[in-house]
Amino acid sequence: MSAGAIQNLRLLFMRPDEGNKQILVSGDILHREFIALFYKMLTVFHLRNSGASCGIEGEKSELYSYDYCNLLTDKFSGDADKFLDMLFESAFEYIVKTSGIEGVNGAEGDFVAEKVEAILQGAKEFANGVLKNYSDCLTLSSLKLLKSLQSYEIREVKEKISECDPFLNCRTFLYRGGKFNAINLEDHAKEFFGFEGVRTIFEDHFQKFADSSANGNVPLLISSLPGHGKTQMTIYHALKHEKLTLILAEVETIEKQLPALIQQLGNRQDRKFVIFFDDVVPDDIDWYYFKNYVGGSFVLPENILIVIASNYHFGASLLSRGRSVIFPIFDEIRCMEMVEGFLISCHLKNPGHNLVSIISADYTEYFGQKRFSELSPRTLMRYLDIYRTNINKRKTMMHLAMGDLITKPDSSLFYDFNISLMRKLYGNEYIENLLKEKLRKLEEG
């Protein structure tokens, strides 16, 4: 395949400018004539093979197609390389027009590759049949060229297109400036422990989306204090399902590029996408586009799931459009639940309460020594990584758990840290209302 054809392939996969919705093809007059003739030829082929009416009946419709073939041959004087290059490029044009895509970009690469391969293979088979039945009465140089198209050449076309597909060899991307940049999130795709109720919601929601269940792509709205595991749980459950591709999008995309992103991914019905917006401040966002696609005038494609995580609470207008999951406050009880879950994952079937308590207390000691800046599931997971890899620490913890003096995690440390963090995030009025509600429940109880 010539360098010119490869270059036109690259051009076809470029994203059009905002003001230019035309398909990107060569401006060469000869090329445009070829495309026009080839498109007409393929249209007749398509109508005839699908049984639809094209205004020409029976044998005449076939002769009409052959006329286009001969016109194509005349244009190129039997130049096989030039003809096949034009055929290759025009197959794109045909797919773009018949599929309703305004411009081909990387997001549609694999989809187009399959279609182009089918067109070229079908054209070759059609040429074989035509030459067998009409070789005596027609000059079919173009069809002879089609017949000579080798299988390896068809595969080459598909492979070249697939190289332009960003989703072919990676499942995690950062969406920035309208482009998909592959990233490695393996270090973040770790299993989380504790928070059984929250994990159940995550497992159920992502499983339904992967299985294409009814209403399986209802947006997931996640709220918690910082460090509770919103990001890690989302990454883990998205990548747990091989069918899903995870797109980490910048928060600004919600206001500026959401329609373009949805359109790009919606065209890829061969794949399922999780669009993840992290660290969102709901009150600072214009949700116009989101509300249009979720419960508004547009319909969110079934192959897209939107997940939004925030350290703040979502308003009623957003909660009515999605499924809410709220992490409970991380205190000494949930700390011990996480430690117990971790020990079970280490094949300790029945970790004793003493060992769980000793480890949890040692974690809070790390915080007291300023080795961690926060008391959160995030820093607890870091501590447990230390525990997992440090055999001397494991031996020490086991020895202490068999002693008479069992230390416990200090509940006041968790309480003071959480109150301070919530006051910083939500303000004094929120804390006052929280304490009043707690007092009211105590009085009622």
Per-residue pLDDT tens digits for 337-366:
999 999 999 888 889 999 999 999 999 999
Quick one: pLDDT band at residue 170, thresholds 50, 70, 90? Answer: confident
Q: What percent of the chain has pLDDT over 70?
A: 62
DSSP string, 415-443: HHHHHHHHHHHH-HHHHHHHHHHHHHHHH
Mean pLDDT score, 411-436: 91
| pTM assigned to the model | 0.67
Which residue, among 233, 208, 240, has the nearest Cα to 305 in the 3D structure? 208
C-beta separation of 248 from 278 below 8 A: yes
**What is the structure's pLDDT at 274?**
97
The whole-chain average pLDDT of the chain stands at: 76
Which residue, among 229, 228, 290, has the nearest Cα to 259 in the 3D structure? 290
Q: Which amino acid is at 93?
A: E
Which residue, among 54, 35, 17, has the nearest Cα to 95 in the 3D structure? 35
Q: What is the C-alpha to C-alpha distance for residues 73 and 368, in angstroms, rounded to an integer?
A: 82
Other Cβ atoms within 10 Å of 227 Cβ, number: 22
Under CATH, domain 172-326 is a member of which superfamily?
A: P-loop containing nucleotide triphosphate hydrolases (3.40.50.300)
Quick one: pLDDT band at residue 86, thresholds 50, 70, 90? Answer: low
C-beta separation of 148 from 78 below 8 A: no
Which parts of 139-287 fold into alpha helices (H)?
141-147, 151-162, 196-210, 230-239, 253-256, 258-266
Mean pLDDT score, 60-76: 51
**What is the structure's pLDDT at 441?**
75
**What is the structure's pLDDT at 354?**
95
CATH 3.40.50.300 placement within the chain: 172-326
Helix (H, G, I), strand (E, B) or coil at 157: helix
pLDDT at 383 over 80: yes
**What is the structure's pLDDT at 295?**
83
pLDDT at 127 over 60: no
**What is the structure's pLDDT at 18?**
34
**What is the structure's pLDDT at 179?**
84
**What is the structure's pLDDT at 298?**
85
Other Cβ atoms within 10 Å of 328 Cβ, number: 14
**What is the structure's pLDDT at 434?**
83
pLDDT at 29 over 80: no
**What is the structure's pLDDT at 438?**
79
Structural tokens at position 232: 């890690």
Of the CA atoms within 13 Å of residue 72, those in its CB half-sphere come to 32
Mean pLDDT score, 38-49: 54
Mean pLDDT score, 314-320: 94
The DSSP code for 227 is T
pLDDT at 260 over 80: yes
Which one has a higher pLDDT value, 114 or 214? 214
Quick one: pLDDT band at residue 215, thresholds 50, 70, 90? Answer: confident
Q: What is the C-alpha to C-alpha distance for residues 163 and 155, in angstroms, rounded to an integer?
A: 12
The DSSP code for 267 is T
| Distances 134 to 59, 68, 75, 242 between C-alpha atoms, Å | 11, 15, 21, 50
